[in-house]
Amino acid sequence: MTVANPSKKIAFLGTGLMGAPMARRLLQAGYSLTVWNRNPDKAKALESDGATGAASPAEAVDGADIVITMLTDGKAVGDVLFESGCAERLAKGAKVIDMSSIAPAIAKEHSAKLEELGIAHVDAPVSGGVVGAEAGTLAIMAGGDADVVASLHDVFSAMGRVTHVGPSGAGQICKLANQQIVAVTIGAVAEAMILVEAGGASREAFRNAIRGGFADSRILEIHGRRMVERTFEPGGTAKNQLKDLNAVMDVADALSLTLPLTSGVRAEFTDFVEGGGGPLDHSGLLLHLEKLNP
């Protein structure tokens, strides 16, 4: 693990399912960390790991050199940064890393508003789920100024592998593309599971048989196992998967793109979430497809 610069004070806002293990990786790397979460119990749980709890976002960022946000959506990020008084509390030269998954246009808007205050902004969403967050192996897609991203390399390295993918908003575009692949592949694996069982084969044996072949993937490894074992406690929820797919299609519409696979899988996730599957893991799309094939 990269050795931290102990002089850097970091505020981490949003210590939920993904944020908590990411914060722990920073603490394990030796960073001084102040944490805040809308549910204070989730932030308090990190105090035993060495974090300092804060009663509000503005209190958390007071004196911070770096602020990391890991929140539900663009509105939540905007509210925390600009409505709660965080941005005004930051000194010029501070850096904000938004690791939430939000719309690219909102990321650009936040970057421009912070730039007016002399604060650098990087949109740096992640892929790898809770497993990657706990292991410090997240894939981090960073949009923004290349020099700013480079200056934050040690911080990113505590949580995973960072790649600078372009200017402001580019990180969010890449995350949406990642979510396209995840959703479509989950749909493909789920449909294949239904096909092989209907045809008389074992789902578990099928998954084992194709491991190492061209159809192998992390989705088959992790989500395919969940489908076989029928364990759908969330790593990533179906509700959040749908949120990302809606954002993908909004961008596609703005760019006059036709994405039939993404459109189709979004329709299935919409039905699954509206049917009560929102809190389940996104691999639980299998349950919806099974209802279509009783």
Measured CA to CA, the distance from residue 134 to residue 19 in angstroms comes to: 10
Q: Do residues 79 and 50 make contact, with C-beta atoms less than 8 angstroms apart?
A: no
DSSP label of 46? T
Closest CA to 35 of 58, 16, 12, 57: 12
Number of Cα atoms under 13 Å in the Cβ half of residue 216: 7
> Pick the catalytic residue: 9, 95, 175, 243?
175
Q: Do residues 168 and 121 make contact, with C-beta atoms less than 8 angstroms apart?
A: yes
Measured CA to CA, the distance from residue 278 to residue 227 in angstroms comes to: 16
The pair of structure tokens assigned to 88 is 């005004």
Measured CA to CA, the distance from residue 146 to residue 15 in angstroms comes to: 27
- Please identify which residue in the block is written with the tokens 């008084």: 85
Residue 272 neighbours by CB under 8 Å, 6+ apart: 238, 278, 284, 285, 287, 288
List phi, psi (to 5°) of 123: -95, 120
Is 9 one of the catalytic residues? no
Measured CA to CA, the distance from residue 158 to residue 181 in angstroms comes to: 26
Q: Do residues 29 and 52 make contact, with C-beta atoms less than 8 angstroms apart?
A: no
Closest CA to 73 of 231, 232, 250, 222: 250
Show which residues are catalytic: 175
